[in-house]
Amino acid sequence: MTCTAGELAQHLGATLEGDALATISGVASPELARTGDLIYLDSPRHRARAESSVAQCVIAKPGVRLARKTILHVSEPKFAFAKAADRLLPKHNFPSAIHPTAIVSPGAKIAKGVFVGPYVVVEEETEIGQGTVIEAFCFLGRGSRVGKNCRLHPRITLYAGSRLGDRVEVHSGTVIGSDGFGYVFGEGRHWKFPQIGKIEIGDDVEIGSNTTIDRGALGVTHVGSGAKIDNLVQIAHNVEIGEHSILAAQTGVSGSSTLGKNVVVGGQAGLGDHCTIEDGAMVGGQAGILPGKVVRAGQTVWGTPARSLEKFKEQFAWSARVPELAARVRKMEEDTSRRK
């Protein structure tokens, strides 16, 4: 979609300096931009990149001036750029159609404006909401439900009964609703604890590639609205992810753990079972939270076992100084023995 600099400034609440009629049709980096692309500048370090770009329109902080550019002044350029991209970039260009090779159960309820791609399998009692795109090789198990304006990229599995809200985007290879990992040992072997619960994904959730989210054992696995989950993340049975929480790549959340709202978990972090991560807490990359632990609201933790970031840093700094500390102890010991 195309708009003028003036229209976009109004949409962003930006103060415009320059040509209000300049046409903007996309977003880009300064180096790759064409004239009609919008770029942004959020640090004086990148000023030269913006100046030498052929892009006509630049989002920048108040007070920034660039020769021959039309500037949209905002306090948070990167945010405004993302918001502008949300308006400018086409969501997709899939037609309203069901590919002839898609196998769609006669009982499935498919709303209007839906695209179902080649070699998709949609089992019975399934619902797909208006405007949703289901790309090639997706499998929607019996009774699964996908809301409106979702996009399932190619090769996604929804196990039977999986529920996705509206505007959910799932990337290729991801598996939603598979059995949790629970066994009880007895009579010389592992007996599977029943994994027959539910899996519910809220609205506006984005899930990366090759991620796995297990259904509840007897209860529910729930991903709150607005949550964002990266690639290769593992979410176990009965986990609750709060709204707008962020989980970076390769993180694992063990069974029955609860994350509050606006939690941020770095890459490769591991949360033991029955943990509680309260609202707004941050878990550093590769951190390991012991089973049953509570990370308090707003707290930042790191390390394995995880502790507060301040404590981690202090302990880490000291651990680096143990050799020197040991040398001082040895010196005192020698002095003492000499004195005797």
Q: Based on CB atoms, which residue is closest to a second copy, 112 or 323?
A: 323
Q: Do you find a cis peptide bond into 291, omega within 30 degrees of 0?
A: no
Neighbour order of strands in the sheet with 252-253: 103-104, 121-122, 139-140, 157-158, 175-178, 212-214, 234-235, 252-253, 270-271, 288-289
Work out how close the CB of 235 gets to a second copy at its nearest, in angstroms, rounded to a whole number: 9
Q: Strands 3-4, 23-24: parallel, antiparallel or unpaired by DSSP?
A: antiparallel
Work out how close the CB of 111 gets to a second copy at its nearest, in angstroms, rounded to a whole number: 23
φ/ψ (deg, to 5) at 31: -70, -40
State the Cα–Cα distance between residues 18 and 11, nearest whole angstrom: 17
Own/partner long-range contacts of 111-118 (Cβ < 8 Å, ≥24 apart): 111/148, 117/154
Q: Based on CB atoms, which residue is closest to a second copy, 5 or 229?
A: 229
Cβ(204)–Cβ(167) below 8 Å: yes
Strand partners, 185: 190
Q: Based on CB atoms, which residue is closest to a second copy, 231 or 299?
A: 231
Active-site position among 92, 237, 244, 274: 237
Work out how close the CB of 172 gets to a second copy at its nearest, in angstroms, rounded to a whole number: 4
DSSP 162-190: -EE-SS-EE-TT-EEEEPP--EEEETTEE
Work out how close the CB of 175 gets to a second copy at its nearest, in angstroms, rounded to a whole number: 4
Cβ(170)–Cβ(213) below 8 Å: no
Work out how close the CB of 274 gets to a second copy at its nearest, in angstroms, rounded to a whole number: 13
Work out how close the CB of 204 gets to a second copy at its nearest, in angstroms, rounded to a whole number: 7
Q: Based on CB atoms, which residue is closest to a second copy, 65 or 86?
A: 86
CA atoms within a 13 Å half-sphere pointing along the CA-CB vector of 80: 26
Work out how close the CB of 37 gets to a second copy at its nearest, in angstroms, rounded to a whole number: 10
Tokens 């939603």, located at residue: 176
Q: Strands 109-110, 127-128: parallel, antiparallel or unpaired by DSSP?
A: parallel
Q: Based on CB atoms, which residue is closest to a second copy, 47 or 91?
A: 91
Strand partners, 151: 133, 169
Q: Based on CB atoms, which residue is closest to a second copy, 131 or 224?
A: 224
Note if 73 is an active site residue. no
CA distances from 207 to 29, 194, 235, 245, 246 (A): 25, 26, 11, 12, 10
Q: Based on CB atoms, which residue is closest to a second copy, 128 or 246?
A: 246
Cβ(245)–Cβ(265) below 8 Å: yes
Would you name the residues annotated as active-site residues?
Answer: 237
